[in-house]
């Protein structure tokens, strides 16, 4: 794709497309439109019991939007079982632009002043498109995900798009739906005006965890 802009990218998300590169050093981006789409239902989100204990111990200092580009670049780094990434410099450029437009956000887990886990994604209407996550400390990315969903629920978001379903996401209730069903959910979510809350109180987080416990 030549001449891709953040505005074009947002229009693509609105019809169910998202871009990926073959490799980090490949400048070309491709539109992806999977037949089966991964979503994480916000209202039935499940927090595993062990992870609830970790969150309540406040192992990590959780922040939002303080190191957005760093999160993307750490997501692009090789990890266990992953030697290549779909995040190239064009992806970094476009999503940093979306961040400056207020359309993208990061959730970050810090430990002793070091960024050890997090995720980033795009917000459009009442839909949040989760792009990638990373972890350099046990449970860091999982804690970031719980904080993300708590903020999305408070802000009135209706759809959390995970693109694909992994074993990591399945424990939280992620599921696959057909492209046609996804587009129906997306259209409904885009009609909603939602807000991404960077600040989130301890009492609010505990109430959210309790709500997921009741539905577990």
pLDDT surpasses 80 at 34: yes
pLDDT surpasses 90 at 115: yes
Average pLDDT over residues 187-206: 96
Q: What interhelical angle do 6-14 and 89-100 show, nearest 10?
A: 90
How far from 91 is each of 1, 22, 40, 126, 141, CA to CA, in Å? 12, 12, 23, 23, 21
| Other residues' Cβ atoms within 10 Å of the Cβ of residue 209 | 17
Q: What pLDDT digit, counting tens, does each position of 48-63 carry?
A: 999 999 999 999 999 9
pTM of this structure: 0.94
Q: How much is the pLDDT for 215?
A: 46
Average pLDDT over residues 8-25: 92
Cα–Cα nearest to 147, from 167, 117, 177? 117
Q: Which two tokens stand for residue 64?
A: 């939002």
| Other residues' Cβ atoms within 10 Å of the Cβ of residue 54 | 18
pLDDT band per the 50, 70, 90 thresholds, residue 86: confident
């Amino acid at each position: 794709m030549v001449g891709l802009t953040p505005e074009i990218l947002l229009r693509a998300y609105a019809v169910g497309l998202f871009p990926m590169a073959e490799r980090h050093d490949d400048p070309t981006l491709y539109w992806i439109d999977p037949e089966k789409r991964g979503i994480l239902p916000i209202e039935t989100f499940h927090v595993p019991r062990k992870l609830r204990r970790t969150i309540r111990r406040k192992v990590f200092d959780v922040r939002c939007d303080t190191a957005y580009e760093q999160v993307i670049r750490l997501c692009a780094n090789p990890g266990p079982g992953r030697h290549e990434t779909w995040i190239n410099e064009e992806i970094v450029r476009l999503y940093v632009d979306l961040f400056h437009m207020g359309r993208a956000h990061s959730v970050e887990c810090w430990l002793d002043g070091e960024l050890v886990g997090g995720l980033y994604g795009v917000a459009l209407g009442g839909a949040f498109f989760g792009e990638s996550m990373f972890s350099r400390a046990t449970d860091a990315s999982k804690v970031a995900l719980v904080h993300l969903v708590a903020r999305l629920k408070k802000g009135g978001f209706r759809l959390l798009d995970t693109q694909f379903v992994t074993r990591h996401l399945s424990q939280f209730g992620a599921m696959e739906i057909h492209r046609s069903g996804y587009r129906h959910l997306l259209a409904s979510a885009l009609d909603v005006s939602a807000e991404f809350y960077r600040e989130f109180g301890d009492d609010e987080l505990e109430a959210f965890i309790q709500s997921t416990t009741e539905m577990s």
